[in-house]
């Protein structure tokens, strides 16, 4: 159970900002089956065997790849590949670029720009939505490069521009040499939806709504993980921890905590105050303790 800062404040009846910074997103892969290559600026027709065509970046096979022309003269940078993501615009959150897996990833992307458009991918106006660069270590040439947008963008089409690219390997140099061609084994993309979670909220063990159970003894909990110190994962995937006989719990007593992201936030001068709310489910204290209900610690 996660409560956004805005929602928590709304419950508390306080004024709160209309925007929540640092929203976190949940990503869902777009099937390559619904994507198609609109355009590549250049194709090697003969020098790479059956490889070369841009469509090979959408065939689900990391061993096949798009390759720009080099035979008989190298087509110069920049290069680009444009992909239609879907018939209707999607909320684009990330793009994954799987480098060519052969020749030490020669032609993999170095400096890039990501452009997107809505509408007909051949005639639409593209706008730059991200730029950056990927490192050129030979040792990591095969790893997927991911472009994550700061905020999702409505897009029907995505165009990856290679401003520069890395070659394969040169002697024992750990960094690849510069290259003029572009290659790409696989193009993938994810849609993004706001998860409602403020990632600035801390994650940790929560303990709230302390309740003593006065009519049971420790012995009755002997075979229950709530009755002795330890951690476990419940069948629903939730993580639990019980602590017994410490300064926190008191003597001959246990407290049980659940790993959670449930926090409330309220504004304070210069930032936010994060408070653990009192709605934690299932956390309790038991043992030979006094009969009382205690609120937040
Ligand atoms: Ca491929």
- 50 Cα to the center of ligand 1, angstroms: 11
Q: Express each pLDDT in 173-197 by its tens digit.
A: 999 999 999 999 999 999 999 877 7
- Considering the four listed CATH numbers 2.30.110.10, 1.10.3720.10, 2.60.120.260, 3.40.720.10, the one that applies to the domain covering 25-194 is 2.60.120.260
Q: Express each pLDDT in 119-147 by its tens digit.
A: 999 999 999 999 999 999 999 999 999 99
- 14 Cα to the center of ligand 1, angstroms: 53
Write down the pTM of the prediction. Answer: 0.63
| Confidence (pLDDT) at 243 | 75
Virtual torsion, Cα 197, 198, 200, 205, nearest 10 deg = -40
Mean residue pLDDT of the chain comes to: 80
- 187 Cα to the center of ligand 1, angstroms: 8
- 274 Cα to the center of ligand 1, angstroms: 47
Domain with CATH 2.60.120.260 in the chain: 25-194
Residue 268 predicted with pLDDT over 70: no
- 64 Cα to the center of ligand 1, angstroms: 4
Neighbours of ion ligand 1 (CB under 5 A): 56, 59, 61, 64, 185-186
Residue 252 predicted with pLDDT over 60: yes
Q: How confident is the model at residue 12 (pLDDT cuts 50, 70, 90)?
A: very low
- 126 Cα to the center of ligand 1, angstroms: 25
Residue 11 predicted with pLDDT over 50: no
- 88 Cα to the center of ligand 1, angstroms: 24
């Amino acid at each position: 159970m996660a409560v956004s800062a805005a929602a928590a404040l709304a419950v508390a009846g306080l004024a709160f900002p209309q925007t929540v910074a640092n929203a976190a997103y949940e990503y869902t892969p777009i099937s390559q089956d619904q994507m198609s290559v609109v355009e590549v600026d250049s194709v090697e027709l003969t020098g790479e065997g059956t490889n070369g065509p841009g469509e090979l970046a959408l065939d689900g096979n990391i061993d096949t790849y798009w390759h720009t022309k080099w035979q008989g003269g190298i087509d110069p940078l920049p290069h680009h590949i444009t992909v239609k993501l879907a018939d209707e615009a999607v909320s684009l959150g990330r793009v994954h670029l799987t480098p060519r897996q052969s020749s030490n990833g020669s032609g993999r992307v170095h400096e890039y720009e990501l452009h997107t458009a809505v509408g007909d991918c051949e005639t639409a106006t593209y706008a730059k939505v991200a730029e950056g660069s990927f490192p050129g270590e030979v040792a990591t040439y095969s790893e997927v490069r991911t472009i994550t947008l700061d905020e999702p963008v409505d897009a029907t089409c995505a165009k990856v521009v290679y401003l520069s690219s890395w070659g394969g390997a040169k002697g024992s140099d750990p960094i690849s040499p510069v290259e003029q061609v572009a290659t790409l084994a696989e193009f993938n993309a994810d849609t993004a939806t706001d998860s409602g979670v403020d990632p600035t909220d801390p994650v940790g063990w929560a303990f709230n709504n302390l309740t003593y159970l006065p009519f049971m003894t420790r012995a009755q909990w002997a075979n229950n993980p709530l009755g002795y110190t330890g951690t476990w994962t419940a069948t629903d995937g939730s993580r639990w921890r019980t602590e017994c006989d410490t300064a926190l719990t008191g003597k001959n007593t246990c407290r049980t905590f659940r790993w959670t992201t449930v926090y409330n936030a309220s504004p304070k001068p210069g930032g936010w105050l994060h408070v653990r709310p009192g709605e934690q489910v299932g956390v309790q204290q038991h043992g030979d303790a006094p009969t009382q209900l205690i609120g937040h610690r």
